[in-house]
């Protein structure tokens, strides 16, 4: 009897192995197979067009001459390439470099604060038996459902008292707070995804908790670090409202603020569309560059950490 069962099991095994082979190709591969792939391709192109056209329009408009940029009705393509708009932006108010510096400074500080807080938090939540850690984690995630805009007024008064208004550190603290719940989520998952044996091998090899973190975990969670940094950068670089409330000296403005200002203040009275588009073009460049540069890690960070 047992032999018969064994035989049945073995044929069953082969049958299921064959079935698995058939199903192994994922949903995407099957979708991209045959005629459907043209449809999918067309949908992708349509989506990309919708997303990229405004960007393209901005870049083209930024290259028009001053008069052409203000023309009504607007032209689609510049009649002649001109860097006038960039020139005006360069000298706008305190100078473009000041604002770029402010934005970059706030973004860098946000990245530092984010990593400085979420790496230990992720390590603790992911690898240590902290009592009630699920509750802590939920409370941290709750931050996601409170709109930070609602807290800006009290925050402003608090920051004035702490002398953190008009300071990059102050702005970075707000941006960090905005970004924190998501970052902790990514970090915790990344820490949890590192095999236990790796940590145990390091412990046997003589590492203390700190050394395990530095020597084993940090190299293993590089994708998560990059994902968190990228998101912190983009959030801080693009954030407008908190910057508007906290930064009220024109030398402490960030790029989004100066773009808003450029819409209102021009020497000839109306909106300087050319300069505005130049500003948009410049502010978009780092986001795209970092994204393309780090895309590989960023996708891995999501797959390893968030989507388990």
Partner 1 sequence: MNIQPQMARHGRERDVHHVEMRGVNKRFGEFTAIHDLDLSVGKGEFCALLGPSGCGKSTILRMIAGLEAVNSGSVFISGVNVTRMHPAKRHIAMVFQSYALYPHLTVRQNIAFSLSVAGASREVQAKRADEIAGLLQLGHLMDRKPAQLSGGQRQRVAIGRALVREPEVFLFDEPLSNLDAMLRVQMRIELAKLHKTLGATMIYVTHDQVEAMTLADRIVVLDRGVVAQVGAPLELYAKPANKFVASFIGAPTMNFLAITPTAYAGRAVTLAFDSASASASPGLTVQARNVPDASSPPTEIGIRPEHIAITNPSDRRAQISGTVQLVERLGNLTIVYLSTAAGQIVAEGSGELDVKVDENVGLVIDTARTHLFGTDGAAL
Q: Residues 15-32, buried b or exposed e (16+ Cβ, 10 A)?
A: eeeeeeeeeeeeeeeeee
211 binds partner 1 (CB under 8 A): yes
Q: Which of 100, 104, 151, 220 binds partner 1 (CB under 8 A)?
A: 220
- For the bound state, the minimum distance from the C-beta of residue 80 to partner 1, rounded and expressed in Å, comes to 53
Q: Looking at 53-61, 111-119, 153-161, 213-221, which segment touches partner 1 (CB under 8 A)?
A: 213-221
User: C-alpha 199: how far from its chain's center?
Assistant: 29
DSSP 8-state class, residue 63: T
CA triple 160-163-168, angle to 5 deg:
105
Match 């020497």 to its residue by tokens: 267
* 2 versus 264: smaller Cβ distance to partner 1: 2
Instruction: Count the residues of the shown chain that bind partner 1, applying the rule CB under 8 A.
Output: 21
Which of 207, 245, 260, 287 forms a contact with partner 1 (CB under 8 A)?
A: 207
Contact between 300 and partner 1 by CB under 8 A: the answer reads no
Decide if residue 79 touches partner 1 (CB under 8 A): no
Nearest approach in angstroms of CB 31 to partner 1 is 30
Give the separation between CA 298 and CA 50, rounded to whole angstroms.
Answer: 24
Per CB under 8 A, contacts with partner 1 among 177-196 are 195
Pick one of 22, 73, 131, 206: the residue that binds partner 1 (CB under 8 A): 206
Stretch that binds partner 1, among 22-30, 44-52, 92-100, 204-212 (CB under 8 A): 204-212
Q: What is the spatial distance between Cα 182 and Cα 300, in angstroms, rounded to a whole number? A: 16
Q: Does residue number 216 form part of the binding site for partner 1 (CB under 8 A)?
A: yes
CA 266 vs. chain centroid, Å, equals 32
Question: Would you count residue 202 as binding partner 1 (CB under 8 A)?
Answer: yes
Q: Which residue has the tokens 């979420």?
A: 118
Pick one of 215, 288, 293, 296: the residue that binds partner 1 (CB under 8 A).
215
User: Binding to partner 1 by residue 147, rule CB under 8 A?
Assistant: no
d(CA 86, CA 279): 8
> Does 214 engage in binding with partner 1 (CB under 8 A)?
no
Q: Could you say whether residue 198 binds partner 1 (CB under 8 A)?
A: yes
With tokens 């990593």, the residue in question is 115
Shortest distance in whole angstroms from residue 201 CB to partner 1: 4
E strands, the chain, in order: none
Alpha-carbon torsion 203, 205, 209, 214, what sign? negative
Nearer to partner 1, 207 or 306 (CB): 207
Could you tell me which residues come within 8 angstroms of residue 307 by beta carbon, excluding any fewer than 6 positions away?
Answer: none
Residues at the contact surface with partner 1, assessed by CB under 8 A: 1-4, 7, 195, 197-198, 200-207, 211, 215-216, 219-220
């Amino acid at each position: 009897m047992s032999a018969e069962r064994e035989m049945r099991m073995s044929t069953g095994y082969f049958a299921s192995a064959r079935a698995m082979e058939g199903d192994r190709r994922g949903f995407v591969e099957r979708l991209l197979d045959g005629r459907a792939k043209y449809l999918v391709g067309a949908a992708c192109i349509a989506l990309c067009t919708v997303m990229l056209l405004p960007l393209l329009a901005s870049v083209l408009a930024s290259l028009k001459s001053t008069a052409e940029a203000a023309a009504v009705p607007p032209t689609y393509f510049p009649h002649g390439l001109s860097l006038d708009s960039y020139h005006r932006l360069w000298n706008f108010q305190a100078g473009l470099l000041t604002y770029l510096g402010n934005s970059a400074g706030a973004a860098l500080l946000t990245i530092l604060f984010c990593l400085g807080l979420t790496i230990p938090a992720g390590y603790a939540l992911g690898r240590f038996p902290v009592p009630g850690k699920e509750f802590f984690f939920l409370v941290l995630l709750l931050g996601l459902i409170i709109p930070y805009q609602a807290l800006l007024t009290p925050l402003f008064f608090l920051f004035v008292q702490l002398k953190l208004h008009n300071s990059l550190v102050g702005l970075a603290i707000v941006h960090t707070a905005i970004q924190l719940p998501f970052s902790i989520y990514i970090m915790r998952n990344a820490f949890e995804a590192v095999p236990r044996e790796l940590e145990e091998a390091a412990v046997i090899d003589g590492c203390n908790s700190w050394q395990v973190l530095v020597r084993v975990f940090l190299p293993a969670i590089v994708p998560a670090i990059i994902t968190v940094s990228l998101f912190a950068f983009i959030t801080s670089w693009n954030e407008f409202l908190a910057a508007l409330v906290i930064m009220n000296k024109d030398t402490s403005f960030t790029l989004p603020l100066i773009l808003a200002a450029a819409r209102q203040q021009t020497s000839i009275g109306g909106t300087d569309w050319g300069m505005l588009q130049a500003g948009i073009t410049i502010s978009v460049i780092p986001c795209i560059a970092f994204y393309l540069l780090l895309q590989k890690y960023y996708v891995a960070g999501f797959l390893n950490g968030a989507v388990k």
